[in-house]
Structure 1
């Protein structure tokens, strides 16, 4: 009788005489709805329900137990076995149809949910592929950006220059470097472009091209009858400020310290444009900040940049660090600051060159507990006391493109 009612209601019906036979039917046909007696040959309805829930199938199956049991403990037992609904005997046709319609609604909802999840998974797979491709591109971009700093150190007569550049992510906005002006002078720069993404990296690449070792490309150099001349540090900052305001349509700006170093006299002329204060450490160990700050480049049409002069005597050194170092924070939000960098310099006074820069980078990492949110970069200028052979500029100085001899 129940089978006839179901067929008249438009359902395709498959009957089974026992629990084991019903389980075989479920394995073979994966029915959408199962109506099972509580008591039947071979196994009980709850036992069949447990086995049914353990089957591997594509969609959800709605399970209704037919029973004359009305005790709360029996209902709980059936629900724990995995039943979705119950029909109490004797079965009413109206109640049967209502229970089946409820099952149909749940199955349709489950099917839509499954389709949505499948579409979501496809979208997620596409996004993962796109992310993997982007990561590959960014890794290559990082290699290219690291290549902008072709030489991490250079020796000019009695001076040694060492560079540190470590982006926070794949690509960053920091740039450090140096280039020879002539046999007796070099230009040295430390730049920090706002932001850390592609926009910052593109501007960094452009600035690197403008400060290359080639006289034809380097905007800090100009050809003269007597050889190569350099524009003043202040004029260079003003040039970059005009370029950024007139040629770019973004809110990007950058900070900079640029210095013109004379190897014979130790005289250094520089400009500070919103960059952290350079720190000069004398041979005695005394440390003092240099400059008054100045405005970042690309913010105002007529900014005030700070010019400074100093002399580096034998045993002295100058550290120019980006705000990724000076503004590093510990887990409590405390800034490392200029004083923290000074303490690092005092504590590692016996180290020089890259040994000192690596030690400073390690100290910053310890201070932040390894959480680095910004690029870190630095330039270390040291007035060393080598012998005459080491001081020969033809042996130790870079060529016109900034390459060191073997």
Structure 2
């Protein structure tokens, strides 16, 4: 395409009317014809662009590598690299931004256009071209680059948000792991405090932290106390309430070594009533509740008293392998301030055990929807009564997890075994 001096002069005369674009978008013009480069530069300046010129493809690539040029006008037919070859070379470069390329060409065959698009061209302007058509095509490129910029900004913000969420999630996981460690530290680590009784236990949270809790402890010179609780729900709210209730269920030793408030802790029914009154909402709305077992036991005589608040019935594993269920108790604590609780007496002969557990065991389902029900639990305990309480708890852990298979636990699983050893031991 040959550009007349009159066309160049006319374009130059109109430069004064060009809007002052800040910042001005750089446009690279690659053409081996000097007159066309000068003409297009004049038009670009008039339209508010900054023109960068190159006389061949190799020079154009150097200009692109050296600056922040995002829009290219390139002739198809040139000495050295052709326009499509320049497009292909641009697409092979690892620019940090997208480069929009328009080819100037007199070719109109579909096969030529497909070839140019396949090489990496974004648009075509036919030669000889009308200045307003070129301007309109440039505006299309500008809009597309603007969309690309906005998309890049949105991606940047999304990445920032994602990174922030990742950090927050990591912090939450760290906090949960710390809470889980603290919760496990509140569980028994040894049964030495209740000698000559022995104990075994199982604790499998459905999540990192659990609403289940249990423990045993001296409440007087002659008796030990024990509790097992299961807060409704899962996760942090259940674990926080579980920790709070656990503190209420354990007496605190005074500096002199005596147990503060031991009278209350010797009366299981009164303790559950007090706990229920503490947890009930004054407005009568049930916001949270828990099932609880609390009992006391004389290690030397095996005589005990126990009260239930909605918790699964404790089991007595007798020396002959039979399993007895203790009577059902009252409503869970935290539901009704008028709930009443009664204490039941029980007795452990030498070689017998008291077993308390959460419903996460009996409501554990296998892949076919079959529950690991109370019958399964009783049969397992009876068949393995010769094992120690600790080994029995471990066997139950393996059995329940095997029953569940690869699926995650749906509910917290916990179990406490208190054993009065036989006289021969």
> Per the shorter chain, which TM-score range?
0.7 to 0.9
**What's the CA shift string for 1:39-84, capped at 9, x where partnerless?**
3222232222222123233322212222333333433333333322
Give the secondary-structure state (helix, strand or coil) at the position aligned to 1:111: helix
Pairs within 5 Å for 1:4-403: 4-154=42-192, 156=194, 158-215=196-253, 222-223=261-262, 230-246=265-281, 251-292=287-328, 294-305=330-341, 307-370=343-406, 371-387=408-424
Distance 1:276 1:64, change over 3 A: farther
2 CA distance for matches of 1:39 and 1:51?
A: 16
Contact 1:163 1:177 in 2 (8 A): no
2 CA distance for matches of 1:290 and 1:62?
A: 81
Give the aligned CA root-mean-square deviation in angstroms: 2.8
Say which structure, 1 or 2, has more relative contact order (CA 8 Å, 6+ apart).
1
State how many pairs are aligned: 382
**Residue 342 (structure 1) shift:** 2.6
Give the secondary-structure state (helix, strand or coil) at the position aligned to 1:14: strand
**Residue 294 (structure 1) shift:** 3.4
Give the secondary-structure state (helix, strand or coil) at the position aligned to 1:372: coil
Q: Structure 1: 5+ residue runs without aligned partners?
A: 391-406
Question: Structure 1 stretch 22-31 or stretch 89-98: which is displaced more?
Answer: 89-98
Question: Structure 1 stretch 143-152 or stretch 24-33: which is displaced more?
Answer: 143-152
**What's the CA shift string for 1:58-111, capped at 9, x where partnerless?**
322212222333333433333333322222333232322222111111111211
Q: Structure 2: 5+ residue runs without aligned partners?
A: 1-38
**What's the CA shift string for 1:268-310, capped at 9, x where partnerless?**
3212212222222222222343333532110112225465433
| Greater Cα radius of gyration, structure 1 or 2 | 2
Q: Give TM-score, length-normalised by structure 1.
A: 0.84
2 CA distance for matches of 1:65 and 1:349?
A: 87
Contact 1:267 1:310 in 2 (8 A): yes
Q: Give TM-score, length-normalised by structure 2.
A: 0.81
**What's the CA shift string for 1:293-349, capped at 9, x where partnerless?**
532110112225465433222332222111222222223443222223234324533
Distance 1:334 1:69, change over 3 A: farther
**What's the CA shift string for 1:137-193, capped at 9, x where partnerless?**
332222222221253434745531223333333322211101112343211110112
Give the secondary-structure state (helix, strand or coil) at the position aligned to 2:150: helix
